[in-house]
């Protein structure tokens, strides 16, 4: 598919847009899109054109893809005020009823500033340190549950990530992997992610032919039933926020902050739903997927674990798990976390697209106002100039010394986006991933599953889902406590964490009723 498109490429110098394939009438370059993982295609196209910025036409609309960290910084960071808006998104915004009601998709302006301010009051960098105690406790519960049911590690990660966000947002933890809120949240978030991947089939074909969106929904019953799930998710998040507020209007949770500001900013129910739901978008599906990728890396590259164990044994020992105070001394573990974010970034195309608020130029080319502008995180993190052997999981590339690499920002990765549209949950995700990865590295040897013949079952580091927030396809593995002292410490700390977290335990009759009705409506 790439070679086919390369044959039809031209520099487009006359049009003054960045280079790309010659667009066909009406359909543009849409037929050239691969069936899955278009970010790999755009990476190859960028290399073939010898340009970090390329133009690809979706129907009659040019889209710009940035495939290099230095160029992403130059365009999306240094010109953050220019690339602060969103393009028109027919599928994700208009067909799901989210037009100008959600921070994620809003055009840049006064209403966006209101939503950004409210979001920062919940998960901004100055706020997330307040959540360390219960985030740490929920992390301890992961390790505790892995002792009992290690085969359900994905479910434990999803429960953890959903529970942390639920405590922040609604003052209610998610205590069980069978809690229906997990299924609902993950399903809504993954559906939203699917509606952001460029494609040549429905529903993404609406981006190529936006006039089709004006046709009666009855002509596309299966399609609009799927989009309806996304709209029902908005109702679900509003129900969560409203229930939390009615249960205890004085409780220190994000839902009450929203309702306190509702009169001042004249927040509509759909806006309350979006503000509440964005917490899950910022920290539930993405955080759990990052932890699954961490496990895959441990299984596929076991040689990286030895140095982590040596550091953890020296700094922490076997009689307690890592604490926040250990972070400055856990140099290799912090590098390990950076490599998790870099190696298989969850938001593989950098989240939602940016759009310039006015015409802009790059390297003599024009990027018109409103152009869909996307950072290709896959290409950025797999540039072998910045990351030699990019598919190898190697934490040492982030350590000082001759193996260290330079990058265009201080973090060494671009997992959370850029500029004024950077992910609001970045701080929460980074601190939660650190403490959980440190604890699981300290507590377990994570290795290949064994088949019935006693042989190790290999894993495939490229077997990932296709959504915007991708994660490894299911794979089996083993979690073995590294020592008896560690096992006892995990059990002791896990029981204490459950006791400390019990203040957030309560049943939600309203949500149970909502989910029951939702199933009946399907």
Rg (CA), the chain: 23
| 351-366 tens-digit pLDDT | 899 999 999 999 999 9
> What pLDDT shows up at residue 6?
38
Model confidence pTM above 0.85 = yes
Tokens 């966006």: give the residue: 112
| 80-113 tens-digit pLDDT | 999 999 999 998 888 877 789 999 999 999 999 9
- Give me the chain's average pLDDT, please: 90
Q: Is 80 exceeded by the pLDDT of residue 230? A: no
Given 1.10.579.10, 1.10.630.10, 3.40.50.720, 1.10.1330.10, which CATH number is that of 115-352+379-521? Answer: 1.10.630.10
Return binding residues for heme.
Answer: 423
Return binding residues.
Answer: 423
Strands of 250-382 (E only): list them: 360-362, 365-367, 372-375
Mean pLDDT of 210-228: 68
Q: Is 80 exceeded by the pLDDT of residue 517? A: no
> What pLDDT shows up at residue 13?
40
> What pLDDT shows up at residue 322?
98
Is 77 exposed, middle or buried, given 0-12, 13-18 or 19+ CB atoms closer than 10 A?
middle
Q: Is 70 exceeded by the pLDDT of residue 7? A: no
| 167-210 tens-digit pLDDT | 999 999 999 999 888 888 887 777 777 777 888 887 888 898 88
Of 105 and 219, more confident: 105
Strand 372-375 to 61-66 pairing: parallel
Tokens 């950077």: give the residue: 422
First and final C-alpha spacing in the chain: 38
**CA atoms within 13 Å, Cβ hemisphere of 299:** 23
d(CA 317, CA 177): 30
d(CA 327, CA 344): 23
Residue 142 token pair: 């992961």
- Going by pLDDT thresholds of 50, 70 and 90, the confidence category of residue 226 is low
DSSP string, 99-128: TTTSTTTPPSSHHHHHHHHHHHHHHSTTTG
| 317-335 tens-digit pLDDT | 999 999 999 999 999 999 9
User: For the ranges 232-246, 308-322, 465-479, which has the lowest average pLDDT?
Assistant: 232-246
| 394-449 tens-digit pLDDT | 999 999 765 556 799 999 999 999 999 999 999 999 999 999 999 999 999 999 99
Going by C-beta distance under 8 Å and a sequence separation of 6 or more, which residues neighbour residue 403? 396, 397
Q: Is 80 exceeded by the pLDDT of residue 239? A: yes
């Amino acid at each position: 598919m790439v070679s086919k498109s390369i044959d039809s490429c031209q520099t487009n110098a006359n049009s003054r847009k960045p280079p790309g394939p010659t667009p066909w009438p009406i359909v543009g370059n849409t037929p050239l899109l691969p069936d899955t993982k278009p970010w790999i295609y755009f990476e190859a196209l960028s290399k073939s054109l010898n340009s970090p910025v390329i133009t690809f036409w979706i129907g009659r609309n040019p889209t710009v893809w940035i495939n290099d960290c230095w160029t992403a910084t130059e365009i999306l960071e240094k010109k953050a005020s220019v690339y602060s808006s969103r393009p028109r998104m027919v599928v994700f915004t208009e067909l799901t009823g989210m037009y100008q009601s959600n921070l994620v998709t809003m055009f840049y302006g006064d209403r966006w500033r209101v939503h950004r301010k409210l979001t920062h009051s919940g998960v901004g960098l100055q706020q997330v340190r307040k959540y360390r105690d219960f985030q740490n406790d929920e992390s301890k519960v992961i390790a505790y549950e892995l002792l009992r049911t290690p085969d359900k590690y994905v479910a434990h990660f999803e429960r953890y990530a959903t529970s942390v966000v639920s405590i922040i947002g609604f003052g209610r933890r998610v205590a069980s992997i069978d809690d229906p809120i997990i299924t609902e949240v993950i399903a809504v978030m993954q559906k939203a992610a699917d509606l952001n991947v460029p494609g040549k089939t429905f529903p993404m074909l609406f981006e190529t032919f936006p006039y089709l969106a004006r046709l009666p929904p009855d002509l596309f019953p299966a399609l609009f039933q799927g989009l309806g799930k996304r709209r029902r998710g908005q109702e679900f998040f509003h129900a969560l926020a409203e229930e939390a507020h009615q249960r205890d209007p004085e409780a220190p949770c994000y839902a009450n902050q929203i309702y306190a500001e509702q009169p001042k900013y004249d927040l509509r129910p759909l806006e309350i739903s979006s503000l509440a739901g964005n917490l899950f978008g910022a920290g539930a599906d993405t955080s759990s997927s990052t932890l699954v990728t961490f496990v895959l890396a441990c299984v596929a590259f076991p040689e990286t674990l030895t140095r982590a164990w040596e550091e953890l044994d020296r700094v922490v020992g076997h009689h307690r798990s890592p604490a926040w105070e250990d972070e400055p001394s856990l140099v290799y573990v912090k590098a390990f976390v950076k490599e998790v974010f870099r190696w298989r970034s969850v938001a593989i195309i950098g989240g939602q697209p940016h759009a310039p608020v006015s015409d802009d130029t790059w390297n003599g080319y024009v990027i018109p106002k409103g152009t869909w502008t996307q950072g290709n995180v896959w290409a950025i993190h797999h540039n072998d100039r910045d990351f030699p052997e990019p598919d190898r999981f190697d934490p040492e590339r982030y350590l000082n010394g001759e193996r260290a690499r330079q990058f265009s920002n201080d973090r060494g990765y671009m997992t959370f986006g850029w500029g004024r549209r950077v992910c609001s949950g970045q701080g929460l995700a980074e601190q939660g991933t650190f403490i959980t990865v440190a604890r699981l590295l300290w507590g377990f040897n994570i290795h290949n599953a064994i088949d019935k013949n006693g042989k190790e079952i290999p894993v495939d580091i490229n077997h990932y889902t296709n959504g915007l927030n991708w994660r490894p396809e299911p794979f089996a593995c083993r979690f073995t406590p590294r020592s008896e002292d560690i096992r006892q410490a995990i059990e002791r700390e896990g029981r204490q964490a459950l006791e400390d977290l019990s203040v957030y335990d309560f049943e939600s009759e309203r949500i149970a009723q909502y989910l029951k009705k939702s199933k009946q409506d399907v």
